[in-house]
Amino acid sequence: MFGLLNNKYEKIFLGSYVLSVLFFSCLLGLPPIRHLIFLILSLIMIYATGRIFVSKKKYYRALAVLAIFYCSIFGVTLRTDTVVPLNISDYIIYESFVASLAMLIILLLSFINGKILRSIIGVAFIGVTAIPIVIIWAYFFSANAFLTMEACLAILQTNPSEAWQYVNDFGSFEGFAGLMIVCGGGTYVREQCNCAN
């Protein structure tokens, strides 16, 4: 497949995508062959979609920003003492899903002509898909732990006044900075999505 790649951004993104899977395979064990189909299909979809974009640089940059953001939850699992059962199959399926989701968001946004409409739809798409990631990071910054089932139940049973009090008590500069990074990344991706024909 790398013989088909004639753009350096394709080589960098797709190569680093495959290398990350190989790296986690070394850490977590070899995946079952049936789960490699997710990796292969996502690589084919990303490559085929990249063919329709005029600016490969913008496409692969936006794709990398979204994929890194969505996969950032693995950073939380590495920084906490909470045991998160993660095997290579889960990682491959999640990474393939994330890459495909990011590709679909960029593809859909690139075909919207109006800048205001693209901004509204981009904020909606990225905002909705980023909610779980933001919640995991927010919980990590406030409790220094990975979000567990018990914490999810407590969050779902919280009313707005309790939530505001919690933010006042446990809010931090890191949490605010993280929120600004999410907003800035969403704006960056939206701006990169005018690279289709």
Distance, C-alpha 147 to centroid of its chain? 17
pLDDT at 41: 84
Return the DSSP state at 63: H
Q: pLDDT: is 103 or 190 the higher one?
A: 103
What single letter denotes the amino acid at residue 161? S
143 close to 151: Cβ distance less than 8 angstroms: yes
CA 184 to chain centre: 14
- 110 phi, psi to nearest 5 deg: -70, -20
Residue 24 pLDDT greater than 50, yes or no: yes
Q: How confident is the model at residue 197 (pLDDT cuts 50, 70, 90)?
A: very low
More confident residue, 49 or 3: 49
CB atoms within 10 A of CB 8: 11
pLDDT tier at 42, thresholds 50, 70, 90: confident
Both tokens of 58, joined, read: 């913008």
